[in-house]
Structure 1
């Protein structure tokens, strides 16, 4: 056989990719598998395991974009994969979990409508985010946003899971208060598609001399979450809700202020 057999298909130039460029998509796929597995466990009634898998997917969502930027491996395919993964992990899965914990035990058929509203709002939130990203890329605007418009999908998922966190911490059965849970999850969905400016971590700037205190604070936060995970998450979500109220009040006052 000659060194190059003409009967064998030749690899087109540019078909091969460096392995590192696949790492962000692999991380995104790992998060997607976590969300899908969470659905499997919540259908079996193992809600605690399902919540842990959703939390893992939230952590993964924060890592894949960071890894892609660090490795300079961003791509249109990765962006679309991440968006579809977010819809499942932060829209469909939390909605189904809340439905199974609060609505399904009482056989409230109408309760599904409220969960449906939340899932659709999450889908619309992600679609609007994609349009904004594409528009910024077209205009050549690479500046980090100082705030989000509406509650982002991962934060919305955490807020939607607040009833589950309270149930794990206190032992309260969500099936005893289905109406409150249904109304709450609709509010979360509306906040996701709202035009309310919300907190963005990208807007934080830390002075170099204070980085050591940030590391100490992070260690303290991790220790607290390991010791009292549900209580810590409840407090974090309540603090985030306070920031939403503050943002809404500031928008209202700015609109009421007379223009010169």
Structure 2
């Protein structure tokens, strides 16, 4: 093999990293649209970034192109897309009148996202130990939870801009959940009873209908469903603390 061949890499090995960079660009562009007040576009870009975040790792595993470089790149992209961008979006959307207090909670959320990703990087070498759950709310899920006030407003159910203090508190709470020990179920560990199959099929059809008619209501419902899955773990943690 000559020197030129050794300096070249197969395109398929670069594909997962290209997908990660695409997701990072979506997050950065979301910040740009949030700064000019185009919040719906900014939210859509963050949702797309979250979907892409689930693709790059899958592509890397399928192509056997996983690497330490790709893992670090993914974490840096996640910090931008799911810690910085959601905090800035919520601040511009609903916390401007809260002034310094609102910005403090944005910093809390961003710092929590950074700590979450740093801890994940440190623990990454111990993956595959048989655990059936993650610890703490993952960064993409935390970003979607942070956008709950935006979903409430865009769906027309409640204007979060009229309650900036509550919105700021919610942002801080989500940040704490991201670095907490709250167990969250892994999709691989989930088991669906037979009667639940029909419910899931009907729910999927309903979700598809809402996607093309009431997209913000759909995002709100998905957020609330995810939050409901966290409640048992939060309750168990509360019980351990009280004892």
Q: Is the Cα contact below 8 Å between 2:98 and 2:164 reproduced in 1?
A: no
| 1:76 maps to which of 60, 64, 68 | 68
Q: Indicate the structure with greater helix content.
A: 2
TM-score, with length taken from structure 2: 0.89
| 2:124 maps to which of 109, 133, 140 | 133
Change (3 A) 1:234 1:92: same
User: 1:88 corresponds to which residue?
Assistant: 80
Larger radius of gyration: 1
Q: Which runs of 5+ in 2 are unaligned?
A: none
| 1:174 maps to which of 152, 160, 163 | 160
**Alignment: residue pair count:** 241
TM-score, with length taken from structure 1: 0.83
Q: Is the Cα contact below 8 Å between 1:167 and 1:174 reproduced in 2?
A: yes
Q: Which runs of 5+ in 1 are unaligned?
A: 1-9
CA distance in 1, matches of 2:227, 2:199: 25
User: 1:42 corresponds to which residue?
Assistant: 34
Q: CA RMSD in A?
A: 2.6
2:119 aligned with 1:142: no
Q: Is the Cα contact below 8 Å between 1:39 and 1:50 reproduced in 2?
A: yes
User: 2:231 corresponds to which residue?
Assistant: 245
User: 1:33 corresponds to which residue?
Assistant: 25
User: 2:221 corresponds to which residue?
Assistant: 235
Displacement of 1:163 after TM fit?
0.4
CA distance in 1, matches of 2:72, 2:82: 15
Displacement of 1:254 after TM fit?
6.2
Q: Is the Cα contact below 8 Å between 1:144 and 1:203 reproduced in 2?
A: no
Displacement of 1:204 after TM fit?
3.2
String of CA shifts for 1:97-154, please: whole Å, max 9, x gaps: 00001122x26222200111000000000001111102x1xxxx53564111000001
User: 1:4 corresponds to which residue?
Assistant: none
SS in 1 for 2:7: coil
Q: Is the Cα contact below 8 Å between 2:155 and 2:214 reproduced in 1?
A: no
